Amino acid sequence: GTNSDKYFNIVHTISDDPPDQFNIVASKTGNGTIDPSGTITINSGDDKVFTFTPDSGYIIENIIVDGVTKPAASSYSFDNVSANHSIHVNFKQPDAFTIAATSDLNGTISPSGNISVNSGNDKTFTFTPNQGYEIKSVLIDGNSVEKTSSYTFDNVTANHSIHVSFQLTTQSTYTIVASAAQNGSINPAGNVSVNQGSDKTFTITPNSGYKIANLLVDGASVNPADSFTFYNLDSDHVIAVTFTEIPETDEWQAEIKLTRESSSPFVVIGEKATPSKIESPPAPPEYDALIRIFEYVDSKATYYIEDIRQTGQTEYCWGFAVDPHGVPGPPYDLSAEMTWNFSGVPGAFRMEEGYTCGGDSGPIIVNDMKTETSLTITGRSEMYVSIIHTLGSKPVISINGNEEMSVEKCTQFIDPGATAFDETDGDISYDIQITNSVDTSVVTDDNTPYVVTYNVKNALGIPADTKTRKVFVEDTTPPVITIIGDKVIELTVDSEYIEQGAEAIDPNCETNLTDEIETSGSVDVNTPGTYTITYSVEDDSGNAATA
């Protein structure tokens, strides 16, 4: 055949017309930003991403794209743009709900009180029992949950309450080792097992002709008495007692010593007669005698002085002078320590400045010479002092815990109690008379608290000063509302909406407040949309709850 060439023409057409363009209008309401914002021009077929950033303390409520509401998100993308669009983002402060956190007196919950939590956030509460206690129960909205050391509310969308109670640790015991030296007994004796949180009393009985010389509790001397009680036991203890022979008379002596370097001069005071006693005051002149205690370099001085005078039916006094400098002494101040021990003598002792024994004596130097057994004196001249011995002193009550307490309405008030001590009788806490009129079902105000009173008398019938504790009953716990049925209901247009209501209770007093609930809001089943029904209630104290 015949070959022939064939030619083709290929034509490219280039247009000067720009591509189609579209506008996206970006706007926002509330505290936050949309980026980019305003009217944004986009080429046909391009994509465009918008990002949303709420201000601190705000959240994204929703996104509206071309008039259609979308769920909250941090960004939105228009893909393959082929038309005009609009995008609008709404910012708002998150809804806040209240969690009422309470506990009884034997531990703590943290945080406590009415705690505000933003909607959707989590909140954790931790529980710490006091020593010797454990968690008894944890109530969430009145319902018991597992006993753990903490509880977390996840994704909070309603008000809640949490209450933790504590109890003594079960099956815990401690040992008290009790012993007595010769010439007396302690009962019980040996290794005594005591349940945690319990009290235990030990009775001390000297043999005939003997008295308690020293009572040691955990190695420390305490005031001797015919019994000793360990309260609310939470550890092991040791109690030991020694005895000494009672003199033929009730008279006693006590030595007051001054010590510096190697020499130790001293005086002896008391009621026991001695051959070398010095009477005071002497015959005229009118001044009281001074028994001087000097710090000598190479000698000691011992003086016995009987009581100067009886200043009251139960009070005696001795006056003397103390010179830490010594005679002769250097031209600068020296210090010496004065020591004494009145632990075995009934009554109270105090030291005052001056030697006129309560007449023109100066301020008190040592208030209780049984608990303070030494005094350091510095100077280069005599210091005049009086020692005053008082019998039949009144007992002293000490309140355990705070003098003012608060307790939540309808919860149990547990009185921490008090202790009482008498110079002669020792520990008389078990004789305290308590008047307790606290009624936690009735709220008090700042001016009308309940008053718990504590009174006690010693064996001589001498009363202690009355101690009181103020107890305020508060109601800070809001009611708890429980919605009946589902919290979110979806309906079709023209269907029937049946309001199921809600129930309310005061969690502390378990008072039914359902009849007090106020309902607001309505549902129009003929018009599409989102409707909110709100339930509100207040208790007698004005604590409000909303669901």
The answer as to whether 104 is a domain residue is yes
- pLDDT for 8 equals 40
Give the pLDDT of residue 454. Answer: 95
**Helix/strand/coil for 72:** coil
Query: What was the pLDDT predicted at 391?
Result: 65
Cβ 109 vs Cβ 123: under 8 Å: no
Asked if pLDDT for residue 357 goes beyond 60, the answer is yes
259 and 382: one domain? Answer: yes
Q: Which of 192, 213, 245 is the last residue of a domain?
A: 245
Mean pLDDT, the chain, rounded, equals 81
CATH number of 450's domain? 2.60.40.10
Average pLDDT over residues 177-203: 92
pLDDT over 70, % of the chain: 80
Is there a contact between 357 and 388 (Cβ–Cβ < 8 Å)? Answer: yes
Same domain, 231 and 276: no
Contacts (Cβ under 8 Å, ≥6 apart) of 233? 174, 176, 194, 195, 196, 197, 198, 199, 200
Q: What angle do CA 150, 153, 155 make, to 5 degrees?
A: 150
394 pLDDT higher than 80 = no
Pick from 217, 245, 273: which residue ends a domain?
A: 245
Co-location of 405 and 487 in the same domain: no
Query: Which tokens is 196 given?
Result: 């945690």
Q: Determine, yes or no, domain membership for 8.
A: no
DSSP letters spanning 216-264: EETTEEE---SEEEE-S--S-EEEEEEEEEPPSSS--EEEEEEEBTTB-
Q: Provide the pLDDT confidence category of residue 434 given band limits of 50, 70 and 90.
A: very high
Tokens of 536: 């509100």
pLDDT band of residue 288 (cuts 50, 70, 90) is very low
Q: Tell me whether residue 414 is in a domain.
A: yes
Q: How far is CA 270 from the centre of its chain?
A: 46
| 292 and 384 belong to one structural domain | yes
- Cα separation, 160 vs 146, in Å, equals 17
Say whether both 360 and 323 belong to one domain. yes
Clarify whether residues 366 and 300 are in a common domain. Answer: yes
Cβ atoms of residues 111 and 86 within 8 Å:
no
Instruction: For residue 71, give its domain range.
Output: 21-92
Q: How confident is the model at residue 536 (pLDDT cuts 50, 70, 90)?
A: very high
Residue 297 has pLDDT above 70, yes or no: no
Say which range, 117-126, 152-161, 174-183, 506-515, has the weakest mean pLDDT. Answer: 506-515
Q: Angle 268-269-272 (CA atoms, 0-180°, nearest 5)?
A: 100
Residue 68 lies in a domain: yes
Is 7 inside any structural domain? no
47 and 112 in a single domain? The answer is: no
Instruction: Note the pLDDT tens digit of each residue in 445-497.
Output: 888 899 999 998 877 556 778 899 999 999 888 999 999 988 898 888 888 88
Q: Based on the domain organization, do 338 and 384 belong to the same domain?
A: yes
Going by pLDDT thresholds of 50, 70 and 90, the confidence category of residue 295 is very low
pLDDT score of 248 more than 80: no
Given a contact cutoff of 8 angstroms between Cβ atoms, the answer to whether 257 and 374 are in contact is no
Q: Give the pLDDT confidence score for residue 171 in this predicted structure.
A: 59
Neighbours of 172 (CB within 10 A): 13
Mean pLDDT, range 219-236, rounded to an integer: 85
Give 412-426 as a 3 state SS string: CCCCCCEEEEECCCE
Q: Single out the residue in 37, 68, 92 at which a domain terminates.
A: 92
pTM (predicted TM-score):
0.32
Residues 372 and 260 in one domain: yes
Model confidence at 502: pLDDT above 60: yes
Q: How high is the pLDDT of residue 464?
A: 79
Q: Evaluate whether residue 2 is within a structural domain.
A: no
pLDDT at residue 287, as a whole number: 30
Q: Give CA angle at 464 (461, 470), nearest 5°.
A: 140
Residue 407: inside a domain:
yes
Would you say residue 13 lies in a domain? no
Q: Do the Cβ atoms of 533 and 526 come closer than 8 Å?
A: no
Give mean pLDDT, residues 261-289. 48
